[in-house]
């Protein structure tokens, strides 16, 4: 009598950022133990202890050929985890517990933990684009200018959440002076502009349902480059409404161009926003899209 070998379970690593966002992490492990399908998955947990730790944990998991690596946290945590998975066979899972959760919102991943875990159980996988700034990967949104300044201030703040983010915007908006930028494209086109900020959008929003690039697609091999001029302070409520209504592209202050490879140049080495985290690169930044280079678990519907 032939005995059938038991099929090996899918391996999963949950990388948990214990301090991101505003919500408690103490029940994540318990909730995973309760809702993850133990007949399908063999899983373990690791917690980050410092900035960049999720990159190390993710890189080790990829080297160990872990099937699914789940980022538990916000967009910064997702960036660290995903950055080591680009081009690999490992699949990214997301439990969005950050403040803005921009990528998770675009993908339609539930912010309620049990529901997000059930999506992992379904194991519906697609491939999405990623991009790099001078070789530094991002998955959702990067950019220069005012949003990078706010990202830096937000990272230093003791408080998280939407109201902290909004407070930083209103407190710094008036005194912020638009900067000069030069964009150079593969076809030889050059755009010189003075902007409040310029976003390079792979997904459609910063987070909090504020859609800076309502028509951005995660699988089209291009970024939506959103050049935003500085409006009058008293027009901020109108701009905020357009962001929430996914209609900011209708504003006279916003111009959107699509490209898969380009350079942006600035006079000084300023802060860059990379998936919600601020860092410095150089005055000249090369931006390149890597089409459908990251495998990710999504709800069982088609994403854009």
Q: What pLDDT sits at residue 24?
A: 53
Enumerate helices (H) and strands (E) in the chain, giving the number of each. 8, 16
Mean pLDDT, the chain, rounded, equals 90
Model confidence at 304: pLDDT above 70: no
Q: What pLDDT sits at residue 1?
A: 43
Contact 247, 238 (CB under 8 A): no
Residue 30 tokens read as: 């318990």
- C-alpha 80/C-alpha 181 separation (Å) is 28
**Within a 13 Å sphere around the CA of 46, how many CA atoms are in the beta-carbon half?**
20
Domain 136-292 has CATH 2.130.10.30: no
Rounded to 5 degrees, φ, ψ at 187 are -80, 5
Looking only at the bridges linking them, the beta strands covering 141-145 and 136-138 are unpaired
For the domain bounded by 10-129, which CATH number is listed?
A: 3.40.50.10330
Q: What pLDDT sits at residue 150?
A: 87
- C-alpha 124/C-alpha 122 separation (Å) is 6
Rounded to 5 degrees, φ, ψ at 96 are -80, 105
Task: Sketch the domain layout of the chain as residue ranges.
Answer: 10-129, 136-292
pTM of the entire predicted model: 0.90
Instruction: State pLDDT tens for residues 101-125.
Output: 889 999 999 999 999 999 999 999 9
Share of the chain above pLDDT 90, in %: 66
Residue 115 tokens read as: 């529901």
Rounded to 5 degrees, φ, ψ at 165 are -60, -45
Q: What pLDDT sits at residue 245?
A: 72
Model confidence at 4: pLDDT above 70: no
Instruction: State pLDDT tens for residues 138-166.
Output: 999 999 999 899 888 887 777 777 778 78
């Amino acid at each position: 009598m032939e005995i059938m070998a038991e099929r090996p379970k899918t391996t999963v690593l949950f990388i948990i950022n214990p301090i991101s966002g505003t919500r408690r992490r103490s029940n994540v492990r318990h909730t995973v133990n309760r809702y993850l399908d133990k007949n399908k998955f063999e899983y373990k947990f690791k917690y980050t202890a410092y900035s960049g730790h999720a990159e190390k944990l993710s890189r080790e998991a990829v080297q160990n050929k872990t099937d699914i690596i789940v980022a538990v946290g916000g967009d910064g945590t997702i960036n660290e985890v995903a950055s080591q998975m680009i081009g690999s066979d490992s699949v990214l899972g997301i439990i969005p517990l950050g403040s803005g959760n921009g990528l998770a919102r675009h993908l339609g991943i539930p912010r309620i933990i049990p529901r997000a875990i059930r999506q992992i159980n379904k194991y519906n996988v697609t491939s999405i684009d990623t991009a790099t700034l001078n070789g530094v990967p991002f998955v959702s949104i990067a950019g220069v200018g005012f949003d990078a300044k706010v990202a830096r201030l937000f990272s230093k703040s003791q408080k998280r959440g939407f109201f902290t983010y909004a407070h930083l915007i209103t407190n710094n908006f008036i005194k912020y002076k638009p900067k000069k930028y030069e964009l150079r494209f593969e076809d030889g086109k050059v755009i010189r502009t003075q902007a409040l900020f310029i976003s390079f959008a792979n997904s459609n929003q910063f987070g909090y349902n504020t859609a800076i690039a309502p028509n951005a697609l995660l699988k089209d091999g291009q970024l939506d480059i959103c050049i935003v001029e500085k409006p009058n302070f008293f027009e901020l409520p109108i701009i905020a409404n357009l962001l929430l209504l996914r209609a900011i592209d209708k504003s006279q202050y916003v111009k959107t161009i699509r490209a898969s490879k380009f350079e942006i140049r600035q006079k000084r080495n300023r802060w860059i926003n990379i998936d919600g985290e601020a860092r410095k690169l150089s005055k000249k930044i090369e931006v390149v899209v890597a089409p459908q280079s990251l495998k990710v678990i999504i709800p069982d519907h088609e994403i854009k």
